[in-house]
Amino acid sequence: MKKSILLFASILCLSVSNRLSAQDTKQFSFGFKVSPNFSWVKVVDGPMENNGLGLGFSYGLTADYNLLNSPNYWLNAELMVSSVPSSTKFTSDLKGSSNNNATYKEVTFDYKNQYFQIPISFKLKTDQIEKLKYYFQFGLGMSFGVSNRLTTTSNPSIYGNSGLTNHDPNDTRYSEYDFDGKGETYLSFKDDINSFRSSLIVGAGVEYNLSGNMNLVAGLKFDNGFSDVFADDRINARNNFLSLQVGITF
């Protein structure tokens, strides 16, 4: 009888403790973050290759929503403005769209692409260890093009005597700086950028409690694009970036 009473009391205490813990779990946190990033292009198919790392920057809002009344499971959503530069180099010669019928050699394309990003991810957090919580996250990102700026370098210069040093590749006013190949498909390239980008997101980091509900968040996030970045039919490529995440949440 005594053993039964003790067992019942233990179960009751454990149930009360779990309910109090669930009630103490904050349901929502909101904050802002900044993140420098290193970006590059992975060419899947076509006569193009990556031409080094780009240094970009992101800033925006972040929010965590608690799931299952557990301190360990969260849904993370962000609204970010992200600059993702990329540099590529053609491995063959090209012929321009202008009437001079020139053949361009050593052609490189340095893009400065800016996106409005909406990443949504599932976040796993550890219990608090002193003032620290560790987290792991994975999810998907949707990005919409805001602006594009391209600097094309070649021998001879594609810009000629125009006085330009860069142009908007998606603006039809600058179509003369595309490469139409002069009837030879293998010497052509359309430099437009697709306006939509989708990606897989994986990240990890820490939350450090500064005071009350205010936390410092720091971590690393890999944003792996899986949609084609270029509008050209000959080239199939993805732009990826690795970013350092730093933010404050409340």
pLDDT in tens, 149-186: 999 999 999 998 899 999 999 999 999 899 999 889 99
The closest of 28, 40, 34, 47 to 223, measured between CA atoms, is 40
> In a 3-state reduction of DSSP, which class is residue 198?
strand
Q: How confident is the model at residue 25 (pLDDT cuts 50, 70, 90)?
A: low
Look at 80-84, 180-184, 240-244 and tell me which has the smallest mean pLDDT: 180-184
Mean pLDDT of the chain: 90
Average pLDDT over residues 59-77: 96
pLDDT in tens, 206-222: 999 999 899 999 999 99
The predicted structure's pLDDT at residue 244: 97
The reported pTM is 0.85
Topology classification of domain 28-249:
Porin (2.40.160)
The predicted structure's pLDDT at residue 97: 82
pLDDT beyond 60 at 42: yes
Look at 73-77, 140-144, 175-179 and tell me which has the smallest mean pLDDT: 175-179
Query: Domain boundaries in the chain?
Result: 28-249
pLDDT beyond 80 at 4: no
pLDDT beyond 70 at 15: no
Average pLDDT over residues 69-84: 96
The predicted structure's pLDDT at residue 101: 73
The predicted structure's pLDDT at residue 24: 56
DSSP 27-90: -EEEEEEEEEEEEEEEEEESSEEE---EEEEEEEEEEEEE-TT-TTEEEEEEEEEEEEEEEEEE
Q: How confident is the model at residue 96 (pLDDT cuts 50, 70, 90)?
A: confident
In the chain, what are the helix, strand and coil shares in percent, each to the nearest 5?
15, 60, 25
The predicted structure's pLDDT at residue 102: 86
The predicted structure's pLDDT at residue 5: 38
Per-residue tokens: 149? 């700026």
